[in-house]
Amino acid sequence: MATLPVGEDKWVDYVAENRRHANDLEKRVHVIELFKLAIEAEPNSVRVWRAYCEYFWSLYVDSQTPESGWTDEERLMGRELFSLNAALSLWQQGYESIQYRINDSHELWNQWISLERAMLAGTRTAEGIRRITFLYTDRLQVPHVTRDDTAQAFSEFLSTYNKAAWEETMQAVTAKSQEAKKLTEDRDMFELKLRQARQEGKEDIYRALMKEYLEWECNQSKRSNKHAEATGDLCRGLYARALTGVFAFDDTIWNEYVRFLSTSGTYAQSPHGMVDVLRRAVDHCPWSGTIWSRYILTAEDARLPFNEIEQIKHKATSNPELYKNGMAALLDMYAAWCGFLKRKAMDLNATDEDVDVADMGLRAALEFVDQAKNRYGDSYRGDPNFRLERIYIQYLTEKKRNLDEARGLWHKLAEKQLYADSYDFWLNYYLWEMMVFASSGKDRSPTPSTAAIGLRVPSVATAVLGRAIKRKTLDWPERVIDVYVQHCNDYELPSTVRNAIDTVYETRKEVAKRREREAAQAAEYYAAAHAQEQQAAHAAQSADDDSSSSSKRKRDDETETVDATANKRPKNDAAEAEATALKQQQSLKRDRENTISKNNTQTVMVEFRTPEEAQSALLRDGKYFGTAQISVEPGTDLTLTAAKS
């Protein structure tokens, strides 16, 4: 079978291309099968559902008319395959799948209801009127942005087909639809902003708004109120929009959607429903190890057959996208797979076959990862959390009782620098040895060295901690030292405790010197970084000063500013009138609206476009305006500031 498309756009194009060549009944049926696959892949896509319903309806119409060009045999079979009931049922199924997409669900609804009304126009049956009345009533109780248009269309429908019941029916529907109206109004702000961003082609803003909208919608659904069920449906509808649109290939949004479903509504109690969601998620984001891991875990929770879960693992490892971002995604997926194998083998009802499968599967997983890391060379050092090894060690310890092989795996890991320098690794190793020691029971003989005093000591666990504190490059030696001292005090012989104290004393001194060196290096680094920041800031300030000085010199050359001062006149009179006269007679570059008032005089600042115009204004110096004398002076060497409004 050919590789199937992924994503709404590609599915629509793919089916449309096949539809172009569907010139006989067999090919038309094939197109229907492709539409079924498209719906399975994109069950909440308005575009896919519309294309599917429109095509099926066209087949119904063509099967009824000889003018369609179909043969008699094709029309006969077509009437069975593409019946009216099947067509109408498909429209309803499509609507129910997308009804909570409040922004565009009307696109499919409007087509469906127009077909229903067109058929009623020819029959005008009471049953048909009741059916469409029910459809409108139901629709108006679902939030959607075109609810006013829907209400108007319903009103017109009643006026035409059931005028006597118009008032009673509209009152009842209005009362029932108040919740939907309120929910729609609460979301109008987001919808308006999204439409505006889309119309202006601002994709980044659109994505940011959609993320904000999703977060807000999720918060609404968590609130315990009378709208809880409706807001949950709306949140799923919004995720449907995002995951068939702008975030179709965004693994972060898919993961958030899965988390939302797993903690709310019927999906929380329906692992099978979650399996379908995760199947679509890995199709859209095959590079995400987190999604593959969740897919396997959910399939196990849904109790799918082993071969189906194994097929998920095979599908993951055979997809090259899983490897494009390094080993992390592969390890995430294999951690889930190995966890599944371990749990299946350790189940109380496990069969010998389950244990054999776990034996082979766990070893194969470790080998596969070991081989896969070769493609990354030195850039991959290993899984810091050694997840697969932990699972295998637990399996060997608890199920197989093979302590020697499990301990050998610990030794093998301890030889690698990634783990040997990790306090977390050594503490886990130590705790495992303590668990083995505790589970061995008192019936086992003590070690020969302690037999004389009859004391059982966890000498192997002690050795693990002793080996750890000798690492000069351990990331948190202080923590391991504390555990080592406490362990020896709790479990070891006096001689061992004495040796531990002496060892720790020297180790603490070495660690203190190491911390001093690290602190000095850190201080040196931050000092250098701070000096660079200051140097950059000084350079930027110098550039600003140079720019300001250059701008001032240029302004002095090009313009002059004059002061028009009216003496012995009330404010807002002579000086402002003179400034007005200057404006009317000269070509002003900028008018300084602010005035300076002092000692019953007023100063107005006027800036001209050219020095010549400023010189012309100076001729008014000493002139009278009414009873007030005007003083006009050049305003050279002034500092002008511009403020943003």
pLDDT at 443: 45
Residue 532: pLDDT band (50, 70, 90) is: confident
Q: What is the dihedral of CA 125, 130, 133, 138, to 10 degrees?
A: -140
Going by pLDDT thresholds of 50, 70 and 90, the confidence category of residue 378 is confident
pLDDT digits (tens, 9 = 90+) for 413-468: 999 999 999 999 999 999 999 999 999 865 444 454 454 455 789 999 999 999 99
pLDDT score of 644: 45
Residue with tokens 């402002």: 576
Residues 6+ apart with CB under 8 A from 124: 161
Closest CA to 434 of 483, 469, 378: 483
How would you classify the pairing of strands 628-634 and 624-625?
antiparallel
Stretch among 168-172, 377-381, 495-499, 575-579 having the lowest mean pLDDT: 575-579
**pLDDT tens sequence across 559-617:** 444 444 434 334 444 444 444 444 444 444 444 444 455 555 667 777 766 665 666 66
Find the distance separating the first CA and the last CA of the chain, reported in whole Å.
65
Q: From residue 252, how far is each of 277, 279, 284, 612 by CA, in Å?
A: 14, 16, 12, 66
Per-residue pLDDT of 293-315, as tens digits, reads 999 999 999 999 999 999 999 99
- Is residue 418 a contact partner of residue 384, using CB atoms and an 8 Å limit? yes
Lowest pLDDT segment from 65-69, 174-178, 567-571: 567-571
Question: What's the distance, CA 377 to chain centroid?
Answer: 31
Q: Which residue has the higher pLDDT, 151 or 585?
A: 151
In this predicted model, what pLDDT tens digit does every residue of 78-102 receive, in sequence order?
Answer: 999 999 999 999 999 999 999 999 9
Q: Alpha-carbon distance 125 to 109, whole Å? A: 22
Whose CA is closest to 303, among 349, 361, 363, 366?
349
Angstrom distance (rounded) from CA 117 to CA 94: 18
Q: What does pLDDT average to over the chain?
A: 87
- Residue partners of 479: CB distance under 8 A and separation at least 6: 423, 427
pLDDT at residue 638 in the model:
61
Q: Enumerate residues 6+ apart whose C-beta is below 8 A from 566.
A: 573, 574, 575, 578, 601, 602, 625, 628, 629, 630, 631
User: What pLDDT sits at residue 533?
Assistant: 85
Cβ proximity of 45 and 8 under 8 Å: yes
pLDDT computed for residue 605 by the predictor: 74
Strand, helix or coil for residue 608: strand
* Among the ranges given (108-122, 138-152, 329-343, 579-593), the one the predictor scored with the smallest mean pLDDT: 579-593
State the pLDDT at residue 589: 45
Q: What is the pLDDT of residues 182-239, one digit of tens each?
A: 999 999 999 999 999 999 999 999 999 999 999 999 999 887 567 778 899 999 999 9
Distance in angstroms (rounded) separating the CA atoms of residues 66 and 559: 87
256-290 pLDDT tens trace:
999 999 988 666 668 888 999 999 999 999 999 99
What pLDDT sits at residue 119?
Answer: 94
